[in-house]
Amino acid sequence: MDLKEHIYDLGRRAREASRLLAQLTSEQKNAGLLAMADELVASEAELLAANAKDLERAEANGLSKAMIDRLTLTPARIASMAEGIRQVAALPDPVGATITEWTRPNGIRISKVRVPIGVIGIIYESRPNVTSDAAVLCTKTGNATILRGGREAIESNRAIAAALSRGAKKAGLPEDAILLVNTTEREAVPIMAGMDQYIDMIVPRGGHALIEAVVSAARMPVIKHYHGICIVYVDREADLEMAEKIVINAKTQRPGVCNAMETLLLHRDIAEQFLATAGKALIAKGVELRGDERAQAILKAQGSPVTPAAEADWSTEFLDLILAVRVVDSVDEAIAHIEKYGSHHSDCIVTRNEATAERFLNEVDSATVYWNASTRFTDGGEFGFGAEIGISTDKLHARGPMALEELTTYKYKIRGEGQIRT
């Protein structure tokens, strides 16, 4: 079977499975999820053996220690994947809920009800646990999934997908509910992205090249999970102690994630005072500061190390202990900077002035806009969603943390007694 045939075959099978999945009760789906968790644990030896092959190849290819760590499965990590599945089983099922309903003057009753989307394609890189996390969220919401993981995790992904499918089948779920693109050829991505007769929505999670490959070929809706250039603005009326706590947290608590801060904007009236303490605290945490001219002047005068920020730094997702710092004259300038350089993911103002805060909340066109709280809260778990497929950087269908509800769509059921249009 050639590559296109393989992928189209997956499409047909997923479409067929999606019709069955859409009609299952929550109880049936949850029983399937629990069986999948059990099967994953029961397949530990098989998963570790498959993972060992990936790790061997990774070492031969000279992958970084951090990447090898992300790729590694252990009994504890397998148990944690299974536990994640059990938690998803315990969450409420959004499918079948009535969103709104009303009766028209002519008596027809219109119900807008939540239904599965159908077939969801997920294209991702690196960590094999995404195979399980993404698949079970789709199963919970009655969607079939076609997964395309990174080449470096292909053996692990095959073993995980096979275990999940066995579990699903044991519990009476369609065997084709979870399908893996069983190849590492790059051409698989544009073929999937062009297959809109079988895939209703595609979710790329990864770097620029992956996102671009999907977006440029996609015929179906794409929900991008792209980068976060998150920006914190400390206003002239900020509580500077609070601002320091937020800035330290947003930058250093976990610098390698999309909701970490990458740029700090300081109102000129508080820049010197703020940097005198917070600047030193950031440096003590190992953060490299890159300043605009005014920030450089202040930091140098305070004896703090600083390098000049290049134009590219304002639109770079460092994912590291690096922070670009700019001094601005007003909240307007802060908002304009965010509009120009930010990625519309998570941005924050620290201020005591409610009117200034409300302006910022209204005018910054980002998925999540914060007043006096760390950008690190942009997360399905922190939002209380119980699980997440990721953080959408798109505006339509799903924006910000994307969880179970965002894996559904709606349809209108209309009940009448013979009404006709006149």
Q: What is the binding site for a second copy (CB under 8 A)? A: 19, 22-23, 102, 104, 108, 110, 115, 117-118, 196, 200-201, 215-216, 219, 221-222, 239, 242, 245-246, 248-250, 253, 339, 357, 361-363, 365-374, 376-377, 382-384, 394-397, 399-400, 409-422
Min CB(331)–a second copy separation in Å = 14
Nearest of 329, 318, 268 to residue 297 by alpha carbon: 268
Min CB(333)–a second copy separation in Å = 15
- CB of 47 or CB of 210, closer to a second copy: 210
Q: Identify the three-state secondary structure at position 307.
A: strand
- CB of 18 or CB of 131, closer to a second copy: 18
Nearest of 291, 237, 241, 286 to residue 263 by alpha carbon: 291
Q: Looking at 187-318, list the stretches that DSSP marks H as alpha helix, in order from N- to C-terminal side.
A: 188-194, 208-217, 240-252, 268-274, 280-284, 293-301
Min CB(340)–a second copy separation in Å = 11
- CB of 62 or CB of 418, closer to a second copy: 418
Structure tokens at 90: 């315990």
Q: Identify the three-state secondary structure at position 420.
A: coil
CA separation, residue 296 to residues 120, 320, 327, 342, 366 (Å): 48, 20, 10, 21, 28
Min CB(120)–a second copy separation in Å = 11
Structure tokens at 283: 């440096």
Min CB(210)–a second copy separation in Å = 15
CA distance linking residue 356 with residue 191, whole number of Å: 48
- CB of 141 or CB of 296, closer to a second copy: 141
Structure tokens at 317: 């997702």
- CB of 160 or CB of 364, closer to a second copy: 364
- CB of 78 or CB of 123, closer to a second copy: 123
Min CB(161)–a second copy separation in Å = 25
